[in-house]
């Protein structure tokens, strides 16, 4: 797997842990588990996107655009399936914590991209 992909997904995993661990101590296992599920949806769908894009051969703009659209579609579909599965299987999940942690992983994704872009220009 590409180094950039590992760093960004690693950042998302770290954000998930940084949210879940304090919740475990302050609000209990159910809240921490909700955070883990939300964060997992965030970083697993990023992995789906990355794996799809890493399969692209060449650098022709048309092919890259097609691959990006396909990867985004897979990521969106994966996100929907995972949210539905979590709410169907886990009845004691905290929706607010789950969604906020998911959102935090999305923020980490974009922040990670910006940090990498900033470093490459230096």
pLDDT digits (tens, 9 = 90+) for 68-82: 999 999 999 999 999
Widest CA span in the chain = 51
pTM: 0.88
DSSP designation for 1: -
Angle at 27 between CA 79 and CA 108, to 5 degrees: 40
Kindly report the average pLDDT of the chain as a whole number.
92
- The tens digit of pLDDT for each residue in 34-64 reads 999 999 999 999 999 999 998 888 788 888 9
Distance of alpha carbon 105 from alpha carbon 83, whole angstroms = 15
Taking each helix axis from N to C terminus, what angle separates 61-89 and 29-54, rounded to the nearest 10 degrees?
160
């Amino acid at each position: 797997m590409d180094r950039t992909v590992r760093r960004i997904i690693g950042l998302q995993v770290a954000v998930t842990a940084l949210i879940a661990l304090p919740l475990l101590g302050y609000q209990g296992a159910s809240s921490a588990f909700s955070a883990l599920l939300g964060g997992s949806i965030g970083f697993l769908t990023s992995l789906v996107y990355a794996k799809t894009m890493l399969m692209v051969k060449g650098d022709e703009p048309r092919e890259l655009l097609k691959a990006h659209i396909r990867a985004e579609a897979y990521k969106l579909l994966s996100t929907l399936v995972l949210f539905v599965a979590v709410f169907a299987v886990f009845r004691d999940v905290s929706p607010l914590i789950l969604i906020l942690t998911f959102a935090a992983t999305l923020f980490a994704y974009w922040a990670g991209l910006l940090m990498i872009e900033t470093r490459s220009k230096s």
